[in-house]
Amino acid sequence: MTAGEPERCPWVGIADPQYARYHDEEWGVPKSDERALFEKLVLEGFQSGLSWLTILRKRENFRAAFHAFDPQRIARYGAKDVARLMADAGIVRNRLKIEATIDNARALLKLNEHMSLAAFLWDQVDGRPQINAHRSFKGVPAQTATSKAISKALKERGFRFVGPTTIYAFMQATGMVNDHLVSCHRHAACAKLQRRFSVPRARPPA
Among this protein's residues, is 44 annotated catalytic? yes
Q: Any idea what DSSP says for residue 7?
A: P
Among this protein's residues, is 52 annotated catalytic? yes
Q: Any idea what DSSP says for residue 133?
A: -
Q: Which residues contact 203 (CB under 8 A, 6 or more apart)?
A: 112, 114, 115, 116, 119
Give me the catalytic one of 11, 22, 26, 99. 22
Give me the catalytic one of 44, 77, 122, 168. 44
Residue 72's CB is within 10 A of a number of other CB atoms, namely 11
Among this protein's residues, is 156 annotated catalytic? no
Query: Which residue from 174, 136, 168, 140 is spatially nearest to 154, judged by alpha carbons?
Result: 168
Give me the catalytic one of 11, 26, 52, 99. 52
Amino acid identity, position 169:
A
Residues marked as catalytic:
22, 44, 52
